[in-house]
Amino acid sequence: MSGTWGSKIKISIFGESHGKAVGIVVDGLKPGIEIDLEYIGEQMKRRAPGRTKLSTARKEQDEFQILSGYFEGKTTGTPLCAMISNNDIRSQDYKKTSNVLRPGHADFTGNVKYCGFNDYRGGGHFSGRLTAPLVFAGALCRKILEGKGIMIGSRIKSIGKIKDKTSFEPISTNKYILQELSKDTFPVLDKGCGEKMKGSILKAREEGDSLGGVVETAVVNLPAGIGEPFFDSVESTLSHLLFSVPAVKGVEFGQGFNIAAMKGSEANDQYYISEGGSIKTYTNNNGGILGGITNGMPLIFRAAVKPTPSIAKPQKTVDIENKKNTILEISGRHDPCIVPRAVPVIEAVTALGILDLMQE
């Protein structure tokens, strides 16, 4: 199983949803970096379950324990390992349906890939629970980037069919907007639309169903020249990480698929020299990236998050042991919409990817 990613900064995740713990090893951090434990804790809380009525009832504090690579408040330069205990687990919710494939989950593919030896409880290693250590590692990288003036922030662009009416300003989004969004458990630019989104999530829960949505992320104050053409482009690196986040099914940068409907005269971002003497563009249709390399404009992308597959509605499926068709009604504790808790995960892997590229 491949649980490792990275070039200059390497990460390796481990654990299962209902195992004793989940964790991560981070290799490649320079020695002497101050670790802000309070900052990491705040980022972990943003992702943690059981904190609002919009999330699963499973309550995990997501308190982390650093096991190595950390001494007297700073990194040592050796591999840094952190562990997060699993405390509020109810494995009995899964035992009675252990042979029944849950539609939308990795039960079937995991069973085939690992010859039936995979831990099915709560999705095992395929679970979104494994995003907790990603947020830990991302918080480390994010704090380093903030020290360089680089800020990352996101908004919920849509939930189901309800869209945020206000958008990021593609050429002048500033760090203060992103900082404010990062303090919000349900980050939207139009609060009225946000309340409608919350209402739709609660309605879906009452109906035994779930919703997905789109998260839009912006990174500001990135210098020009980060990234490589082709295989280590900014888009390639970030897409690799974003698609590693469970439930992400689509990624687009700048105008994304909309750019295909434009003419070249509309899509091209024309240049000018700013009052400060730097080169800027009048538009940002390419999302701050050209040739796989940052151009100094805000980096903007969107990630599509699918509806939570665990729903209470009856679904057609298969009993894999008895090889027969059956009907499944999923019990247990599940998010009616994973999008709000996916926001800090998306920001975390963005920080990981950018810092890795900057190490080049």
Q: What is the pLDDT of residues 271-324, one digit of tens each?
A: 999 998 999 999 999 999 999 999 999 999 999 999 999 999 999 999 998 999
Which residue from 108, 140, 170 is spatially nearest to 44, judged by alpha carbons? 140
What tokens appear for 267 in the block?
A: 């899509």
Where does the pLDDT of residue 181 fall: very low under 50, low under 70, confident under 90, or very high at 90 and above?
very high
77 annotated as belonging to a binding site for a ligand: no
47 annotated as belonging to a binding site for a ligand: yes
Q: What is the pLDDT of residue 116?
A: 86
237 φ/ψ angles, rounded to the nearest 5 degrees: -65, -50
User: What average pLDDT score do residues 232-239 get?
Assistant: 97
53 annotated as belonging to a binding site for a ligand: yes
* CATH code of the domain in which 213 resides: 3.60.150.10
User: What average pLDDT score do residues 80-96 get?
Assistant: 77
| Domains contained in the chain, number | 1
Does residue 135 contact residue 345 with C-beta atoms inside 8 Å? yes
Q: What is the pLDDT of residue 279?
A: 96
Which residue from 38, 35, 36 is spatially nearest to 70, judged by alpha carbons? 35
126 annotated as belonging to a binding site for a ligand: yes
Does residue 342 contact residue 335 with C-beta atoms inside 8 Å? no
Q: How high is the mean pLDDT of the chain? A: 92
Round to whole Å and give the CA distance between 234 and 325. 45
125 annotated as belonging to a binding site for a ligand: yes
Which residue from 21, 26, 28 is spatially nearest to 65, judged by alpha carbons? 21
191 annotated as belonging to a binding site for a ligand: no
Round to whole Å and give the CA distance between 39 and 41. 5
79 annotated as belonging to a binding site for a ligand: no
Give the distance from CA 338 to its chain's centroid: 10
Q: What is the pLDDT of residues 335-348, one digit of tens each?
A: 899 999 999 999 99
69 has pLDDT over 80: yes
Q: What is the pTM of this model?
A: 0.94
Q: What is the pLDDT of residues 17-31, one digit of tens each?
A: 888 899 999 999 999
Contacts of 336 (CB under 8 A, 6+ apart): 54, 201, 202, 204, 205, 209, 210, 211, 308
Give SS3 for 33: coil
19 annotated as belonging to a binding site for a ligand: no
Q: What is the pLDDT of residue 94?
A: 63
Q: Kindly list the distances between the CA atom of residue 188 and the CA atoms of 147, 161, 305, in Å, as whole numbers in the listed order.
A: 25, 15, 16
Q: What is the pLDDT of residue 253?
A: 98
356 has pLDDT over 60: yes
Round to whole Å and give the CA distance between 283 and 171. 6
Per the structure, the complete domain to which residue 27 belongs is given by: 4-359
Identify the burial level of 319 via C-beta atoms within 10 angstroms of its C-beta, where 0-12 means exposed, 13-18 middle and 19 or more buried. Answer: middle
